[in-house]
Amino acid sequence: KSVMDRDVIDRVRKDTVGCNHDLIHFNNAGASLMPDYVVNAQIEQIQLESQVGGYEAAELTLDKTQSVYQHCAQLINAQSVHEIAAMYNATDAWQAPFYSFVKTLSQGDLILTSSAEYGSSMIPYMQSIGMYGIRIEILADDEYGQIDVLKLKKRLNSDDCTRIKLISIVHVPTNGGLVQPAAEIGQLCREYQVPFLLDTCQSVGQIDIDVEKIECDALCATGRKYLRGPRGVGFLYVKKDSVFDTIEPYKLDLYSAHVLNESEYVLESHARRYESWERNYASWFGLGAAVEYAQALTMSAIESQIIFLSNDLREKLSQLPQVKCTDRGLFKCGIVGFVVENTNAQDIFSYLKSHRINVSLSNASSTPTQMRIDQLDKVIRASLHYYNEVNEIDQFIDALRRYINAHGSS
């Protein structure tokens, strides 16, 4: 049953403009609807900048700027604000440690990854093969379609295990509800002393993330997805004294490093070495407000409510003719992927949009390896958040049923 009280759901929906305009927003893995608290945090900063100037506004809000680091650290149970870096988005936050690390590798070194990786991660992997002569290996999946932890342990004990230099995986892929067993993978990484880079762009904000339990060395997150923050902002976690905390970033400026003289510079300490001087302060404060909003509701309640709603959607989809859920994993999150046999996914997307129902499409290029293995070209993705309701799910199912009855064939 629903975990959140009715009055809490009513309040968060009242706080969310999009919920009050006959819109069913099931595209939270793309970009969630921002609550008023987040919108106002950005407007206030923009207004301040227009009144006193951008530099001057930044100086007046120094304490507020630092508080966002604190909130982000608390959200994922980081041990220090110095383990958090402000980034432009999750891709930026992932590429910063990855490209900085991969340039330290030698020809023949090996990076282990998953079949569920983003296309935007696969491209840097392929690029690095050409630039540095490294190897990329896709880890085996178990019967649930998630990384097989037992086979991973065997791989870390194999003859060429000394060439394994990094395990880099996405926690939740873009095309479905799979949640990789990150904590078990992190435990193996610690046991075998292999750095662990985790992409949590789809999981932060919908799953209660604890970096101490996961034991990752670096983690990337974005504001626009389940955190309900603005676009164009994210953050990077870098564990103190990890390899990512000691290497030199692949790009530097006057904020990430400091000039000593005309021939020497010194790096900024800890995660801040991955930052750039320029930032959008309005977006940064919007991110901070989004984290505060989630913390007030508690991540445990948010996660439970999302699981309740997504399980309800999967159950109702399973009762429709020609519909097949494509989600992998033993534990499934708020992203629900499905196909409708003998229909065109783009046409369904457009039909739902015409009825003010937002979903998205995941193409094969977005998760190339997994989609090839599962023989999928396009997946319809409905991603639910805690502010969605069961009656919205029922309206979605009714609309999909009408489309199938009109356009499908058995």
**Quick one: pLDDT at residue 21?**
85
Residues 241-255 have a mean pLDDT of 95
**Quick one: pLDDT at residue 353?**
97
Residues 6+ apart with CB under 8 A from 354: none
Give the tokens for residue 215.
């034991």
**Quick one: pLDDT at residue 2?**
82
Residues 181-206 have a mean pLDDT of 98
Residues 340-360 have a mean pLDDT of 96
CA distance 58 to 334: 37
- Tens digits of residue pLDDT in 45-80: 999 999 999 999 999 999 999 999 999 999 999 999
Where does the pLDDT of residue 90 fall: very low under 50, low under 70, confident under 90, or very high at 90 and above? Answer: very high
What is the DSSP-derived secondary structure letter of residue 334? S
Residue span(s) of the chain under CATH 3.40.640.10 come to 39-295
How many other C-beta atoms can be found within 10 angstroms of the C-beta atom of residue 318?
11
> 0.75 cut: is pTM over it?
yes
What is the DSSP-derived secondary structure letter of residue 230? -
Residue 333 has pLDDT above 60, yes or no: yes
Residue span(s) of the chain under CATH 3.90.1150.10 come to 6-30+298-407
Where does the pLDDT of residue 183 fall: very low under 50, low under 70, confident under 90, or very high at 90 and above? Answer: very high
Q: Which CATH class is domain 6-30+298-407?
A: alpha beta
- Tokens 């001057």 sit on residue: 56
- Tens digits of residue pLDDT in 114-169: 999 999 999 999 999 999 999 999 999 999 999 999 999 999 999 899 999 999 99
**Quick one: pLDDT at residue 409?**
63
Residues 308-326 have a mean pLDDT of 97
Residue 239 has pLDDT above 70, yes or no: yes
Computed on alpha carbons and rounded to an integer, the radius of gyration of the chain in Å comes to 22
Residues 245-264 have a mean pLDDT of 95
Residue 304 has pLDDT above 60, yes or no: yes
- Average pLDDT taken over every residue of the chain: 96
CA-nearest of 79, 95, 64, 321 to 199 is: 95
**Quick one: pLDDT at residue 370?**
96
**Quick one: pLDDT at residue 20?**
86
Secondary structure of residue 141 in the 3-state scheme:
strand
CA distance 328 to 144: 6
Residue 410 has pLDDT above 60, yes or no: no
Residues 291-313 have a mean pLDDT of 97
Residue 285 has pLDDT above 90, yes or no: yes
Residue 1 has pLDDT above 80, yes or no: no
Residue 288 has pLDDT above 60, yes or no: yes
One CATH from 3.40.640.10, 3.30.450.40, 2.40.50.100, 3.40.1190.20 for 39-295: 3.40.640.10
Q: What region, left, alpha or beta, does residue 356 occupy, with left being phi > 0 and alpha being psi -120 to 50 degrees?
A: left
CA-nearest of 52, 16, 79, 45 to 245 is: 79
Of all residues in the chain, the percent with pLDDT exceeding 70 is 99
Length, in residues, of the chain = 410
Give the tokens for residue 16.
């969310």
